[in-house]
Chain A
Amino acid sequence: MAGEKPVAFVAERQIPPSPPPVRTGGALGWARDNLFSGVFNSVATLLSLAFVAYILAMVVPWLFLDSVWNASSLQGCRQVDDGACLAVINERFLQFVFGFYPEELRWRPILAFVLLFVAIWPALFSSAPRKLLIFSALYPLLAYWLIWGGSLWGPVGAVVGIAIGWACIRFLPPLVRGRLDEGLAFLAAVGAGILATALWWLFCVIAFEDALSAVLAIGLEPVESARLGGFLLSTIIGVSGIAGSLPIGIVLALGRQSNLILIKAVCVGFIEFIRGVPLITLLFVAWLLLSYFLPPGTEFDLILRVVIMVTAFASAYMAEVIRGGLAGLPAGQYEAADSLGLDYWKSMRLIILPQALKISIPGIVNTFIGLFKDTTLVIIIGLLDPVGLLQPIRADQNWNGIVWELYGFIALFFFIFCFAMSRYSMYLERNLDVGHR
């Protein structure tokens, strides 16, 4: 139908979209929607802005404009300017980081810290090469050796002890197969493994160390525990507590659900006892009671005692967090695992724990963060963690009277660590898609 006129009331082309009215689009629109959508919200926004401006007006000049970085005393700071006296952090920074660690040996904790990231890489990100897990398993002893020094053969002896225990658990059950019930055989093997490891550690390691040192002396200059302090100390206690509490917590949580009455009783007893006692009490026990009970002259290292207590404490909480995850799984999952014919360990490893741990992530990270912040409690037993170091630093005539700068600095350190942990847990949740969407 050529030549036919187009219908007048039908548009031939789409009208190009016109920009939204200024009041609803762009930054202005966003602000209108989110900040000034009503009288109450507008007032609240203005008040908040005024508050933020007020705080910034106080903090920015104090911290940035008027702060003093180079002075040798608080009085010196005050002569230069009236802002924050950051000179104290400038002067004592290394003390905050390493405590009293000998200066020429400080590369050792630094190396240990760098290797820490290599060690936790495969644990944190699934993209990492799996073989690195072997390194992660060996890392605690490596870090111990780097930080405290001494003969290399001591840590090696400790590894041999663990290997002996593992060998017992691995190779004993097949030996008694047929003669004993399978579960009982396994239990007996675990007991024998623990006993063998303990015996090795108690009676053979020293001879082992001495013998090998006589043949080939490899060692680092030993550093005493009393010289550890500052962030190094917090990190040692925090990281070993975190690394230790997760596996122990899993074992305790599983033990609590066990049908074997003895295992269940031990786990419940441990968890409830530890949860019923404040951490400070445990630290005092570690410090005070052991000092009385141990024969005079023995050196059971204080930091090691504290690490053990902190780990035990966090493990009990971790066990309950993980139990929550286990309880959160539908019974069908357990039954499905059973119906596939998987034995207990396989069903736990392949079906139950991956789901339970996934559910528990927020709680687990919560416990980690709490544990890390709790490390500052060691101040009451005279260990000089960052907060503990404040006292001797502020007792120095030059810096006596400084408060905000030092506490702020320590708070910043803890914030960085805890915030990183919390962000990581959010990343993990996103990746594992916890929401059952």
Chain B
Amino acid sequence: MRLKTTLVAAAAAAAFSVGAHGATLDDVKAKGFIQCGVSTGLAGFAFTDSDGNWDGFDVVFCRATAAAVFGDPNAIKFTPTTGKTRFTALASGEIDLLYRNTTWTLSRDVDLKFSFLGVNYYDGQGFMIRKDMGVSSASELDGATVCIQTGTTTELNLADFFRANNMNYEPVPIETNAEAQQKYLANACDVYTTDASGLAATRATFEDPENHVILPEIISKEPLGPLVRHGDNAWGDIVRWVLNALIIAEEKGITAANVDSMASADTKDPEIKRLLGVEGNYGEMLGLSADWAVHAIKTGGNYGEIFEKHIGENTAIGLARGLNQLWTKGGILYAPPFR
């Protein structure tokens, strides 16, 4: 911060003005970096390494967007946001883009006036229970005590699920995931319910993860994706197509390692040629350089590589691809054609 800008701001504060934001794309290009809102910390999705750099599944998508726009994955600044501050930060223009495990719902899309640009992780609410309880399905949970985070959509989903199945439960209200972990381990509740990715991450931290199971039922849809403000169409298109490009890259087998050789070598596949800017003027249509997708893929690899590195089965979090597998491999990840 500079004193100068502070004083300018203080002066400007006198002149009341409501946020009629110009085109974010122009702003972003003018200032030379993207201000990206991420979580203040969610295992696998957003965290800081020992050097203080942000990393994680959501963070890499932010960086890939920066790489596509500026050719540099570090042309980005992160604003850690909480569940309470994330939407305000975006609406007020403090951040240009929000990549924070945000569930796409109608009211957020319409009433809060944001545009969701796709889904980078399909989540859903699940249940975790101790193995020695001998329960193998959520339909056997009648009468269980359930640790549940208050004020979340998961609380409502839980009530819906038990009512629909004509079962009773006793809620144990908790505030944070850390608290839930302690309560659950202290046997204050039989079952802990939250998003399945969160359950897996939590279970991975236990000393005896093998004694806990995540039940197969997923009782809600939680499509998590990036969002921008309403009316930011040109900017939103870029964010959407960076995400799509990373998915298409996985489909076509383009990885961080081979993207350069793919772009230079004479590949047969016309879609790869279009994606990597060898053919056509798709970058120009987006207002980007021709090789934007090359930079984006180089950041952290294609969708599958990012997934495996941060939350995949070989990590401590150990999530299976599940729904987040490509449509060709049994998942529902499906990017529109690149043409």
Beyond A100-B52, A226-B79, A380-B82, is A393–B7 a contact (Cβ under 8 Å)?
A: no
- Whole-angstrom distance from the CB of A271 to the nearest CB of chain B? 24
A320 within 8 A of B: no
Q: How far is the CA of A178 from the CA of B81 in the complex (A)?
A: 60
Chain B residue nearest in CB terms to A155: B3
Contact bitstring A219-239, B, C-beta under 8 A = 1, else 0: 000101110000000000000
8 A Cβ contacts from A362-394 to B: 379-382, 384, 388-394
8 A Cβ contacts from B1-25 to A: 1-13, 15-22
Partner-binding segment picked from B43-51, B265-273, B293-301: B43-51
Contact bitstring A296-318, B, C-beta under 8 A = 1, else 0: 11111101100000000000000
8 A Cβ contacts from A121-157 to B: 144, 148, 150-151, 154-155, 157
8 A Cβ contacts from B62-107 to A: 77-82, 84-85, 88-89, 91-94
Is the beta-carbon distance between A397 and B315 smaller than 8 angstroms? Answer: yes
Beyond A226-B77, A391-B41, is A300–B93 a contact (Cβ under 8 Å)?
A: no
What B residues does A297 contact at CB under 8 A? Answer: 27, 93
- Whole-angstrom distance from the CB of B89 to the nearest CB of chain A? 7
B286 within 8 A of A: no
8 A Cβ contacts from A75-89 to B: 75, 78
Chain B residue nearest in CB terms to A397: B316
* Among candidates A224, A225, A391, residue contacting B40 with C-beta atoms closer than 8 Å: A391
Chain A residue nearest in CB terms to B40: A391
Is the beta-carbon distance between B1 and A291 smaller than 8 angstroms? Answer: no
Is the beta-carbon distance between B7 and A202 smaller than 8 angstroms? Answer: yes
* Among candidates B20, B41, B94, residue contacting A392 with C-beta atoms closer than 8 Å: B41
Is the beta-carbon distance between A201 and B93 smaller than 8 angstroms? Answer: no
B178 within 8 A of A: yes
Q: How far is the CA of A396 from the CA of B50 in the complex (A)?
A: 9
Is the beta-carbon distance between B41 and A393 smaller than 8 angstroms? Answer: yes
Chain B residue nearest in CB terms to A296: B93
Is the beta-carbon distance between A291 and B41 smaller than 8 angstroms? Answer: no
A99 within 8 A of B: yes
Q: How far is the CA of A86 from the CA of B84 in the complex (A)?
A: 32
* Among candidates B16, B19, B82, residue contacting A296 with C-beta atoms closer than 8 Å: B19
Total contacting residues, chain A, CB less than 8 A: 63
Chain B residue nearest in CB terms to A394: B41
Is the beta-carbon distance between B1 and A396 smaller than 8 angstroms? Answer: no
Is the beta-carbon distance between B41 and A154 smaller than 8 angstroms? Answer: no
Is the beta-carbon distance between B3 and A150 smaller than 8 angstroms? Answer: yes
* Among candidates A91, A379, A382, A389, residue contacting B79 with C-beta atoms closer than 8 Å: A382
B263 within 8 A of A: no
* Among candidates A95, A304, A382, residue contacting B6 with C-beta atoms closer than 8 Å: A304
- Whole-angstrom distance from the CB of A41 to the nearest CB of chain B? 35
What A residues does B117 contact at CB under 8 A? Answer: none
What A residues does B40 contact at CB under 8 A? Answer: 379, 382, 384, 388, 391-392
A sample of 24 inter-chain contacts (CB < 8 A) reads: A91-B50, A150-B4, A158-B3, A202-B11, A206-B4, A222-B1, A226-B78, A288-B92, A292-B88, A300-B6, A304-B1, A382-B79, A388-B40, A389-B48, A390-B41, A392-B46, A394-B41, A397-B43, A397-B204, A397-B317, A400-B43, A400-B204, A401-B181, A401-B205
9 smallest beta-carbon distances between A and B, as pairs: A401-B205, A391-B41, A291-B92, A395-B47, A300-B9, A154-B3, A392-B41, A395-B41, A301-B1
Q: A74-B205, A392-B46 are in contact. List 13 more A-B contacts (CB 8 A).
A: A205-B3, A224-B77, A288-B85, A292-B18, A294-B13, A295-B17, A298-B13, A390-B41, A392-B41, A397-B204, A397-B317, A400-B316, A403-B182
